[in-house]
A and B are shown apart, each in its own frame.
Chain A
Amino acid sequence: MPSIKIPTPLRPYTEGKQIISIEGETVGEALSFLLSLHPELKEHFYKEDGQLSRFANIFLGNKHIITLQDLETPLLEEDILRIIPSIAGGIDL
């Protein structure tokens, strides 16, 4: 079964879980499954229209899913996904 590794700052929203086994044949299905288990994650990484926010980077192994087939990327049994919050900012000139 594929799994999602939860980064340390998001574990308060997953009851402290580090790795969560997920059901789903694609990245999109896996993320939907994750949200059904832990809906608090939704406000941090999804827009109101249900689309993934640009402030969440989803990695399969060491590859960003946008370099694969994005949410349609198929998952294998041993695959591990990661949610990586984007970290950026700066002054207004």
Chain B
Amino acid sequence: MLKIPQNLLDQIHQHLEETYPEEGVGFLLGMDGEPRVVTEILIVPNAREKEERHHRYDVAPQDIIDADETAEKKGLSIIGVFHSHPEHPDKPSEFDRERAHSFFSYIITSVEKGKSVSSRSWRLLEDRSKFIEEEIEIK
């Protein structure tokens, strides 16, 4: 289970509306365990070339390093990644699966006509065969 406060989910939705029609991305910072608890989000730029951003996201290595340093200073961990699927469902794509890590939670938000309409969280199985949905509890 992934616990996230309503205000952080609202911030995620707002950011992903701002990046629409491009995919937006950011980190989930918090505490690992059962459940995982998100205590902060960190927005980062989509590092893909502009003409690809409507269906791809990438995070620059330096932004990953900076996010990890931020998490560490606060006694937190990077526990996941959020990103948007403009005009597509909040389910992982095959491209998402190929590039995912089993140690992260992946919140995917469907953005339709510029509005964030739904979000679900996903975990990749250790054998990388598929994602399974992770229950979200909004506090």
On A, residues with C-beta under 8 Å from B are 7-13, 18, 43-44, 55, 57, 59, 62, 64, 82, 84-93
A92 to B100, CA, bound (A): 15
- Contact of A87 with B55 in the complex, beta carbons under 8 Å: no
- Contact of A91 with B88 in the complex, beta carbons under 8 Å: yes
- Contact of A84 with B96 in the complex, beta carbons under 8 Å: no
Report B-chain residues with C-beta under 8 Å of the C-beta of A82: 65
- Contact of A84 with B79 in the complex, beta carbons under 8 Å: no
On B, residues with C-beta under 8 Å from A are 23, 25, 32, 48, 55-59, 61-62, 64-65, 68, 71-72, 76-79, 81, 83, 85-86, 88, 92-96, 99-104, 106, 126
- Contact of B68 with A8 in the complex, beta carbons under 8 Å: yes
- Contact of B77 with A90 in the complex, beta carbons under 8 Å: no
Given A44-B102, A85-B101, A93-B55: A9 in contact with B96 (beta carbons within 8 A) = no
List, sorted by A's number, 6 A–B pairs whose CB atoms are closer than 8 Å: A8-B68, A8-B76, A10-B103, A44-B101, A87-B58, A90-B23
- Which DSSP category, helix, strand, loop or mixed, fits chain B's interface? mixed
A8 to B64, CA, bound (A): 11
Closest A residue to B97 using CB positions:
A89
- Contact of B103 with A12 in the complex, beta carbons under 8 Å: yes
- Contact of A12 with B64 in the complex, beta carbons under 8 Å: no
Closest A residue to B56 using CB positions:
A90
A19 to B52, CA, bound (A): 36
